[in-house]
């Protein structure tokens, strides 16, 4: 039970960290207009995003309880829905947040890939779990034959 709670908390921290880092990068590069700056702040945010994805991948591979897997699926699907929601280009308009240009497709596709990665990790973790369960079952059958 303690392991399940710790895995859930790890997933929550990694997911919230990923979301916050992406929002900060979005504000840094794309709040008023598309103005990317490849400096130490952007590189630090990219490094933090990679660490958050590694944390989510680790939790996806380590969780075996149905409750943790169910909650992690809901979190992953929420991130995937957010990824699809923010994929279209930003509208060009006038006013306080007037834009001269939308963010480029490579940036929006990269954001989609980052936000869809937890769902891919979840599916890979499930496949790995089923493979391990099938391998253990075949070893058990082989032991009965001998």
| 11, burial (CB in 10 Å: exposed 0-12, middle 13-18, buried 19+) | buried
- Please tell me the predicted confidence (pLDDT) of residue 145: 46
pLDDT digits (tens, 9 = 90+) for 68-102: 888 888 999 999 999 999 999 887 777 666 777 88
101 DSSP assignment:
S
Token look-up 């995937």 returns: 80
Mean pLDDT by 10 residues, the chain (146 residues): 87 93 92 84 95 90 81 90 91 73 90 94 86 66 48
- Please tell me the predicted confidence (pLDDT) of residue 62: 81
- CA dist 10 and 135 (Å) reads 28
pTM higher than 0.85 for the full model?
Answer: no
């Amino acid at each position: 039970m303690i392991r399940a709670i710790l895995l859930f908390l790890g997933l929550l921290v990694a997911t919230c960290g990923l979301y916050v880092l992406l929002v900060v990068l979005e504000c840094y590069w794309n709040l008023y207009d598309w103005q990317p700056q490849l400096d130490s702040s952007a590189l630090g945010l990219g490094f933090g995003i990679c660490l958050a994805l590694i944390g989510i991948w680790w939790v996806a591979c380590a969780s075996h309880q149905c409750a943790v897997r169910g909650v992690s699926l809901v979190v992953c699907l929420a991130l995937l829905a957010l990824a699809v929601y923010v994929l279209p280009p930003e509208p060009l308009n006038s006013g306080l947040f007037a834009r001269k240009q939308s963010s480029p497709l490579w940036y929006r596709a990269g954001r989609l890939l980052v936000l869809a990665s937890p769902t891919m990790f979840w599916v890979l973790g499930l496949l790995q779990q089923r493979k391990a369960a099938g391998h253990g079952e075949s070893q058990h059958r082989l032991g009965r034959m001998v």
